[in-house]
């Protein structure tokens, strides 16, 4: 779960696993796999950082390396 801020300053928590894509239009829009669209104050990079931090927390801080 990640915390983001709606445009009218309401903090909400969303399930990071349900994020399908994030786009800058010029506000940041998060689209979920269920089709819900959320406009948030955070930039695309901030949303990505929050998702990465959430995933790291889920993995207990471990870094998973890709193998070729």
With respect to residue 52, please indicate whether it lies within any of the assigned structural domains: yes
Residue 11 covered by a domain: yes
Please tell me the pTM assigned to this model: 0.82
As for how many domains the chain has, the answer is 1
In a domain, 64, yes or no: no
Residue 8 resides in a domain = yes
pLDDT of amino acid 61: 64
Range of the domain at 27: 2-58
In three-state secondary structure terms, 27 is coil
Torsion of CA 38, 43, 45, 51, to 10 degrees: -40
What pLDDT is attached to residue 27? 93
pLDDT tens sequence across 12-34: 999 999 999 999 989 999 999 99
Altogether, the residues listed in the chain come to a count of: 68
């Amino acid at each position: 779960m990640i915390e983001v801020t709606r445009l009218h300053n309401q903090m909400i928590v969303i399930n990071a696993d349900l994020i399908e894509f994030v786009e800058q239009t010029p506000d940041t829009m998060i689209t979920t796999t269920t089709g819900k669209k959320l406009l948030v104050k955070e930039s695309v990079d901030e949303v990505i950082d929050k998702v990465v931090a959430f995933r790291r927390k889920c993995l207990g801080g471990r870094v998973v390396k890709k193998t070729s």
